Structure 1
Amino acid sequence: MATSDPVYLRVVEDIRRQINDGSLPPGAPIPSRAQLTRKYQVGETAARHALRVLANEGLIVGRVGSGHYVRERPDLIPLHRWRHLEHSSPFAADLQSQGRRVTLDRHSEQSEAGPAIAQRLRLDEAAPVAKTHYIYRDDGKALQLATSYEPLELASDDDRRSLIARMYAHGIKITEIVERVHTRVPQPSESDALDLPAGVHVLHVERTHWAGDRPVETSDIVIPGDRFQVVYSLPV
C-alpha cells in the first residue's frame, strides 16, 4: 500500500488477506472498532470505514448487538445451461435432478414491448407482448428471478410444455438459443427478493430463442453470484 493511500486501506487489506488465506475462516469474529483502532493505530472513523468496505465487498456480515463475522461461503451449485431444454422449466429440472425441491411462482401480464425489448424481439416499441415474471424457490428460499417476453400472438398460458414445444405448435422451429452473460450490482428489489448479503453481485443472463433469423422470445434471468456457477458445454 502506498503511503499516500487512506489509512483505512491498511485495515481492509490486512483483514481481506486473512480471510482469503484462511487465517480468518468463515464464521470467525472480526475485531470490533475499538480493537481495530488499537491494533492498527487508526482512528475510529477509519476503523468504521474499513468495516463498511469489507461488508460491501461481501467478505463480512454484521449482526446487531454482536459485531461482524466472516461471511459463510456456500458451495456453488452448478447450472447446466444446455440440459433439460425440452422441459417447461430447464432451471427447475436441472436443480431437481440434483435432488433439490424447486417450486415456481409465475405471473403473466400484457404490456408494450418498449425500446429495449422491441430491439431484442425486432418489434415496434408499442407492439403488445406477454410479459411473465418467475420466482424459483428451494424450500421457500428464492433462488432465481426471471422475466420473459414473447410477441402476444405467440404467447400461451400452457406452462406444462417447453417453449420449444409451444413454438412448434405454432409451426415455428427453434433453431438457436443465444445467451449473453454479465455481472452487475443487484437492484434493491432483487437484493430483497433473493436475500442477498451486501457486496454480492448477480449474474444477468439475457437469453433469446431464435427461429432462423427471427427472435421469438427473450428473457432476463437474475442469478445470485454467491450461490451458483454457470456451466456451458461447447461441442467441438
Structure 2
Amino acid sequence: MPSEVPPYLRISDDLRRRIAEGEWRPGERLPSRAQLAVAYGVGANVLQRAQERLITEGLLEGRAGSGTYVRTPPERHRMVRSRHGERRGDSPLRAELRDRGRTGSWEANSYARTPAPEHIARRLGIGTGDPTVRTCYEFLADGRPAQLSESWEPMAVTTGTPVLLPELGPLSGRGVVERMATIGVTVDFAVEVPRPARATQEQAHLLGISTGDQVTVIERTYYDLDGRPVETADIVVPEALWEIAYEIPVERN
C-alpha cells in the first residue's frame, strides 16, 4: 500500500487551496502558527514546516516579529530583446528601462586570465583553458535586482587594447558592440538561446527571490563579420519579474 502523506504536505496543500479560493488575499496576514496548529491538530513544528514549504514556493512570506503573510505577486514587466538597445550605445536592459521612465544600473566585477571552461570554450571557438576575461554583472532596475549576467570574452581579441576589461577604461559601460568597434572588430550579429531553469541558491540571493524559483537563462553570443565569436554570456532573468519578448525587424521590398 502507498505510504501515508506526511502531515506537513497535507497541510501545505490545504493552505494552498484556501489561498487559491480567496480565504486570504495577497498581503493579508494568516492566523498565527499556534492557531493554525490547533486547527489542524498538529504540533507547531509540523505547521511551521508546512508554511516553510509555501514560503519556498513563493506563495507566503514571513515577516520578522509580525507573522506570515500571503505574498503579493511582484509587478511583472515586459523585457524587449532588440538590437536597438545596442545601437543606442547602451545595455538592452537599461535602454528598455529608460524608455519606461525607470532607472537602470549595474554592478560588475571582471576577472582577467580566467581559463575558459569547456562549454565556454566551445561557444567561443577557442581551446579549453585559453585565457578569457570573465565579468559578473548584477543589473538593477530603480535600485532593485532585475537580472544577472556572466560574460566571457577571449583575451586573444582584446589583449593590449583599452577595452580589455569591459567596465574599466574610456568605454566603461558602453556595451560589447561599441567597445569592439573601437579596436577594429565589427560585431555583425548575435544569437540568443533562451532556456527555462530554476534559480540556484546564489542566484536567488542576488535577485531577491527564492531558491528554485523559475528563471529564464538566455545564452547570448556576439559574432563579428567573419562569424568569429567575440563574447558570450549567460543572462539570468527572473520569470516573476519579467516577460521576455523579441523584437524582429521585417525586411521591406
Task: Check whether TM > 0.5.
Answer: yes
Aligned to 1:137: 140
Aligned pairs for 1:204-223 (under 5 A) are: 204-211=217-224, 213-223=227-237
More off after superposition, 96-105 vs 203-212: 203-212
- Which ranges of structure 2 fall in alignment gaps of 5 or more residues? 164-168
Supply the AA of the counterpart residue of 1:56. Answer: T
Aligned to 1:150: 153
Answer yes or no: is 1:103 the counterpart of 2:116.
no
Q: Give how far 1:115 is off.
A: 1.9
Q: Using the aligned pairs only, state the percent identity.
A: 34
Supply the AA of the counterpart residue of 1:202. Answer: V
CA contact (8 A) 2:187 2:222 kept: no
Q: 1:117 to 1:198 in 2, by over 3 A?
A: closer
Aligned to 2:18: 18
Counterpart among 115, 118, 142 of residue 118 in structure 2: 115
Supply the AA of the counterpart residue of 1:228. Answer: W
- 2:77 & 2:126 partners in 1: Cα distance? 36
More off after superposition, 53-62 vs 176-185: 176-185
Q: 1:160 to 1:185 in 2, by over 3 A?
A: closer
- 1:191 & 1:49 partners in 2: Cα distance? 20
TM-score by length of 1: 0.85
Per-residue Cα deviation, 1:68-122 (whole angstroms, up to 9, x for no partner):
1111212101110125232331111111111111122233331221222112212
Q: Give how far 1:229 is off.
A: 1.5
Per-residue Cα deviation, 1:13-33 (whole angstroms, up to 9, x for no partner):
222123334332111112222
Q: 1:109 to 1:44 in 2, by over 3 A?
A: closer
TM-score by length of 2: 0.80
Supply the AA of the counterpart residue of 2:237. Answer: I
CA contact (8 A) 1:95 1:102 kept: yes
Q: Give how far 1:219 is off.
A: 0.5
Q: Aligned with 1:84: secondary structure?
A: helix
Answer yes or no: is 1:8 the counterpart of 2:8.
yes
Aligned to 2:166: none
More off after superposition, 10-19 vs 62-71: 10-19
Aligned pair count?
234
CA contact (8 A) 1:88 1:163 kept: no
Aligned to 1:183: 197
Aligned pairs for 1:68-107 (under 5 A) are: 68-82=68-82, 83-86=84-87, 87-107=89-109
Aligned to 1:203: 216
Q: Give how far 1:226 is off.
A: 2.2
Q: Aligned with 1:73: secondary structure?
A: coil
- 1:68 & 1:123 partners in 2: Cα distance? 51
CA contact (8 A) 1:55 1:198 kept: no
Q: Give how far 1:144 is off.
A: 1.9
Answer yes or no: is 1:41 the counterpart of 2:41.
yes
Per-residue Cα deviation, 1:146-178 (whole angstroms, up to 9, x for no partner):
121111133325236442344455344423422
- Which ranges of structure 1 fall in alignment gaps of 5 or more residues? none
More off after superposition, 156-165 vs 68-77: 156-165
